[in-house]
Amino acid sequence: MNQLLTPHFPDYELIDSGDFEKLERFGEFVTRRPEPQAIWHKSLSDQEWQQRSDASFLRASTSKSDERGEWHNKPHMKERWWISYDYKQMHLKMRLGLTSFKHVGIFPEQGANWNYIYDQIEKQKADGSTPKILNLFAYTGGATLAARSAGADVTHVDSVKQVVSWARENMEQSGLDGVRWIVEDALKFVRREVRRGNRYDGIILDPPAYGRGANGEKWVLEENICEMLECCAQLLDPKRGFLVLNLYSMGLSATLARTALRQTFGDTGQEELGELYFKDSFNKELPLGTFCRFSRMK
């Protein structure tokens, strides 16, 4: 059965959404950004959006697929600031910043997956072992820090050096250490890990629709995801491993992800799938990605 998941995240609030935009609070600041899935109308007036927003992102072109643009900030708006995320004994500090591709350094809906990752590792640790976790397309490290907070050995892979440095900063501010940082194309890395015969107790996959590796390698989700999953199937522990797959591309459903995982991994154990979302102040539910995850732990 498909689930709708939203995390408890006091430092984040979806204030309003509509007309292909979203108005969000991250800690002390409110941002206004494009959102292609907000196909309905806004509940607040445009004047209210302008009054409430501290930073507004304007696209460089009228194309909804073009994420490039620039931020228009009010004088008091900071270029960098911090927010917190807590779950059980996990206490994360994440630095936010305004990027030229409208992102701010966090996908807050992923908090629902961070909780899952934390809980799965806690279960695995019950036998006294230290789980090994692989985080691919790892961005600024929310899932990495969740896994490390739970006591796992974590390998963090992303092709952008500056983003890996950002994740390291988040780790240090969260009072953690010991993450293995890899700046490399994710597909190239897992191919090599397969050749080495390495194994992991958990794998986290958060692939973009399109991307470039550290040396210009081209990533296209629909063309490369099958090989990526085939490699991951060889790397994941067959008895107790767990896997989390996120898909952001519009039109790619959780059922599609489950079908691909079942074909590639065979026995997927306990499955969960659905959409990650936030509800705005006017009860409009905004989907922000699909997920499929499974655990082989009995």
Digit-coded pLDDT (tens) for 208-228: 888 887 788 888 888 899 999
In whole numbers, what is the pLDDT of the chain averaged over residues? Answer: 94
Residue 120 in domain: yes
Residue 255 in domain: yes
Dihedral Cα 292, 180, 213, 211, nearest 10 deg: 30
Print the domain residue range for 203: 107-295
Q: CA-to-CA distance for 144 and 159, rounded, in angstroms?
A: 15
Q: What is the pLDDT of residue 164?
A: 98
What total number of domains does the chain contain?
1
Residue 65 in domain: no
Pairing of strands 80-87, 202-205: unpaired
Confidence of residue 64 (pLDDT cuts 50, 70, 90): low
Cβ atoms 203, 232 nearer than 8 A:
yes
Residue 25 in domain: no
Q: CA-to-CA distance for 46 and 113, rounded, in angstroms?
A: 33
Residue 120's SS3 state is helix
Q: CA-to-CA distance for 27 and 242, rounded, in angstroms?
A: 32
Residue 266's SS3 state is coil
Please provide the DSSP assignment of 53-93 as one string.
-SEEEEESSS-TT---EEEEE-TT--SEEEEEEEETTEEEE
Q: CA-to-CA distance for 295 and 268, rounded, in angstroms?
A: 7
Interacting residues of 214 by C-beta distance below 8 A, sequence separation 6+:
159, 160, 161, 183, 184, 185
Cβ atoms 28, 52 nearer than 8 A:
no
Residue 191 in domain: yes
Interacting residues of 21 by C-beta distance below 8 A, sequence separation 6+:
32, 33, 34, 35, 38, 42, 49
Tens-place pLDDT, residues 85-101: 999 999 999 999 999 88
Token couple for 103: 């992102």
Residue 53 in domain: no
Tokens 């989907």 -> residue? 287
Q: What is the pLDDT of residue 1?
A: 61
Tens-place pLDDT, residues 184-205: 999 999 999 999 999 999 999 9
* Closest to 204 (Cα-Cα) out of 267, 154, 130, 277: 154
Q: What is the pLDDT of residue 220?
A: 84
Q: CA-to-CA distance for 106 and 222, rounded, in angstroms?
A: 24
Dihedral-angle region of residue 145 (phi above 0 means left; psi in -120 to 50 means alpha; beta otherwise): alpha
| CATH code for the domain of 207 | 3.40.50.150
Q: What is the pLDDT of residue 67?
A: 64
pLDDT exceeds 90 at position 2? no
Q: CA-to-CA distance for 222 and 252, rounded, in angstroms?
A: 10
Q: CA-to-CA distance for 98 and 148, rounded, in angstroms?
A: 26
Backbone angles phi, psi at 190, to 5 degrees: -70, -30
Residue 266 in domain: yes
- pTM for this structure? 0.95
Tokens 């008091």 -> residue? 76
Residue 142 in domain: yes
Sheet holding 2-5, edge to edge: 2-5, 270-279, 285-295, 242-247, 202-205, 132-136, 153-158, 180-183
Q: CA-to-CA distance for 73 and 125, rounded, in angstroms?
A: 46
Q: What is the pLDDT of residue 210?
A: 81
